[in-house]
A = this chain, B = another copy of it.
Amino acid sequence: MQLRNQVEWALHCSAVLAGVPPGRFLPARALAEFHGVPQAYLSKALQALARAGIVEGTLGPAGGYRLAKPPAAISFLDVVEAVEGRASTFACAEIRRNNPCASPAHPPTGPCAIARVMWEADEAWRARLAAVSLADLGATLAAELPAELRDGIAAWVADRT
């Protein structure tokens, strides 16, 4: 079980977009170059973010993407689910129906004990991701990244908006 690599890209792009000056747009080409990933494929992730209402894109020269909401209103979970989907990691195939002992007249009702445990774990995973926003991430990065690098990135971004 593994998340798509687009999840990582989307999180990085969100972090970068959180640092774009208000009212400006950063093109997907720049985001792809910045992270060293294929531009056409990264677009897919950005499109997914746009569909989820996390970012918004505009066409033409000086176009690109920007966050559609303030960074504090966007959680890791929002970004992850936008590109990965909301499906549970545990897919129940209802194999208990094949049980030769079960009476066909009384089909099992409700989610079984196994599925409930797995879904609970899923929920704990989600809760953790929902508790961290892009604003939190920005604060952490501001504290950890060397000031020199941070300024360099800001200048690099400002240069292409």
Which residues of chain A have a CB within 8 Å of any CB of chain B?
1-5, 7-9, 11-12, 15, 33-37, 76, 84-85, 87, 89-93, 95-103, 106, 113-114, 117-118, 120-122, 124-129, 132, 137, 140-141, 144, 146, 149, 152-153, 156
What is the bound-complex CA distance between A137 and B9, given in angstroms?
39
User: What are some 25 contacts across the A-B interface (CB < 8 A)?
Assistant: A3-B91, A7-B90, A8-B91, A8-B93, A8-B114, A9-B95, A11-B114, A12-B95, A12-B96, A34-B99, A35-B95, A35-B96, A35-B98, A35-B99, A36-B97, A36-B99, A76-B121, A101-B149, A101-B152, A102-B149, A102-B152, A103-B149, A106-B146, A117-B128, A124-B124
